[in-house]
Amino acid sequence: MKDDKRLIEKEDWQKALGVIVKPGEDNGALAQRDYKVSCNVRYIITTIKGYHIWWCSSHHQPYTNCLEDKAEKDKK
């Protein structure tokens, strides 16, 4: 099974281009994302039954989160 978890763990969420970092913020999962920044999907989190689960380095989150958030914003 191929995964890039070690490479993902080396990334700094505060330096991700699509993450809006506010002073004093210390939780990347709660940070706001800027989806005008294009996704950078090059790492595999894991493979499940032949399907790859991808990581978005631009927004420092699983790529599926990017797709869901973009779809929600497009609905409005």
Residue 1: pLDDT above 60? no
Give, as one character, the DSSP assignment of residue 31.
S
Residues 70, 35 contacting (CB under 8 angstroms): yes
pLDDT in tens, 21-67: 999 999 999 999 999 999 999 999 999 999 999 999 999 999 999 99
**Which of the four pLDDT bands, split at 50, 70 and 90, describes residue 76?**
confident
φ, ψ for residue 47 (rounded to 5)? Answer: -125, 130
Number of domains in the chain: 1
Higher pLDDT, 6 or 3: 6
Query: What sign for the dihedral angle of Cα 24, 65, 3, 38?
Result: negative
pLDDT of residue 73: 80
Which domain range does residue 24 map to? 5-75
Nearest to 17 by CA among 52, 58, 73: 58
